[in-house]
Amino acid sequence: MMTKSSLRVGVADWRRDEEFGSRISSALGDLGCEVIHFLYNDRLPGGLDVVLSYGPWGSLVPLANQLLACPPSQRPLFALWMTEQLSNPAIPEWVHYLVSVIRSRAERVAFREQAPGEWLLNPRLRWLTTKALRFRYYGDLHWLCRQGVLSVLAVGSKWIATFLRERGFDPIVAYIGSHPDSGADLGLERDVPVLWIGKLATERRTRLLKRIRAELLERGVKLLMIDGVENPYVFGEERTILLNRTKIVLSVLRAEWDNHSMRYFLAAPNRAMIITEPTLPHTPFLPGVHLVEAPIEQMADTICHYLAHEEERQLIAEQAYRLATRDLTMEKAVGQILEQIVAVRQSDD
């Protein structure tokens, strides 16, 4: 009988030594699984019980085509932990579906089989694979389900899970969660008042951050930008030290409906307080308890309030720390995915 601890899991990484993939691997190992890493466009390792992909931060075509080439009786289960965002939910569903299916089809056309199990991107069509990614994610879900390849779909948002269930999918909710590598309380002096960490990515976010930064500067507060442009990204121990020096981590959405809770799971384990613009109910982080929500026009004043009221800031940061490190861990999330995998396998048997 298959159990969580008896699984041989192939983790499809998007880059070698990918941090998120390494954390998944660590959680799988702690749960007793045998883990085999491979790149998303490598040949599929043999003897796997399940393939686990995340993101997706690249094309699913090479991996999915290899799974489709396996005889159903020999095909490993495929679990996708979807952490990327979807298109505007206000788009009429028939438009959303049609555009997404076309975009997903275009992705498959852009790849060709160079040798058995080796799918390469046609250089002439590379430009096509960089466009309309959010539509592609949705179209890929429909394609994978139609082909009978997608065994388990996990999402890091209860709102997105509801959205997908209303459209015929059966996702489970697995919050990204914190990992021991996410950080620790080092007891450092918090000499960075406000931090932005992450890509600017969209015109909306760029514009709003520029406004908030200017309004903070008028109030004598500097916003430190770790955006890969003004300052390089930081990882590992360097990021942990920076977050331990930070009082407030700012969150501004790419789009109003997005779930950017990955930033929460970076800030909270380091006891840096999170202030965000209002979001949909994606996660158990509650406004006024684990973080603070403020509309953009009140963001600068809200930040200044918590900089001036240290006990209030520390209380919310502490409550977020407990939630992230005790209740919402990556090991628990990965365990939920494994439980669903085992349930699917047992129902197939």
The Cα 189–Cα 243 span in angstroms is 11
pLDDT score, position 17: 83
3-state SS, residue 286: coil
DSSP calls for 206-246: HHHHHHHHHHHHHTT-PEEEESSSSS----HHHHHHHHHTE
- DSSP for residue 46: S
Range 158-161 contact pairs with CB under 8 angstroms and sequence separation of 24 or more: 158/281, 158/282, 158/283, 159/259, 159/280, 159/281, 159/282, 160/82, 160/86, 160/259, 160/282
pLDDT at 58: 93
| Residue 179: other Cβ atoms inside 10 A | 23
User: What 8-state DSSP symbol labels residue 327?
Assistant: I
Which tens digit of pLDDT belongs to each residue from 181-201?
Answer: 888 889 899 999 999 999 898
Verify that 222 and 320 share a domain, yes or no.
yes
Total tally of structural domains belonging to the chain: 2
* pLDDT for position 2: 56
SS3 44: coil
Which pLDDT score, from 0 to 100, does residue 10 have?
A: 96
State which amino acid sits at residue 134.
R
Same domain, 128 and 186: no
Same structural domain, 309 and 334: no
- CA within 13 Å, CB half, 163: 24
Query: Which uninterrupted H or E stretch holds 273?
Result: strand 273-276
CB 50 within 8 A of CB 77: yes
Query: Would you give per-residue pLDDT tens digits along the chain (349 residues)?
Result: 556 668 999 999 999 888 899 999 999 999 999 999 999 999 999 999 999 999 999 999 999 999 999 998 899 999 999 999 999 999 999 999 999 999 999 999 999 887 776 788 888 888 888 899 999 999 999 999 999 999 999 999 999 999 999 999 999 999 999 999 888 889 899 999 999 999 898 899 999 999 999 999 999 999 999 999 999 999 989 999 999 999 999 999 999 999 999 999 999 999 999 999 999 999 999 999 999 999 999 999 999 999 999 999 999 999 999 999 999 999 999 999 999 999 998 887 6
Q: Which pLDDT score, from 0 to 100, does residue 142 have?
A: 98
Measured from the Cβ of residue 79, the count of other Cβ atoms closer than 10 Å reads 23
CA-CA distance, 266 to 246, in Å (whole number)?
12
- The answer to whether residues 184 and 203 belong to one domain is yes
Answer yes or no: do 341 and 213 share one domain.
no
* CATH assignment at residue 120: 3.40.50
Are residues 230 and 219 both part of a single domain? yes
Same domain, 171 and 198: no
Do 142 and 186 have their domain in common?
A: no
Same domain as 236, residue 139: no
Residues 158 and 10 in one domain: yes
Q: DSSP for 94-134?
A: HHHHHHHHHHHHHHHHTEEEEETTEEEE-GGGGGGGGS-HH
pTM tops 0.85: yes
Q: What CATH number does the domain containing 274 carry?
A: 3.40.50.2000
Whether residue 13 is found in the same domain as residue 63: yes
Domain shared by 323 and 333, yes or no = no
Residue type, 321: Y
Task: Report pLDDT for 347.
Answer: 81
- Structural domain harbouring 242: 180-327
Q: State the SS3 of 295-307.
A: CHHHHHHHHHHHH
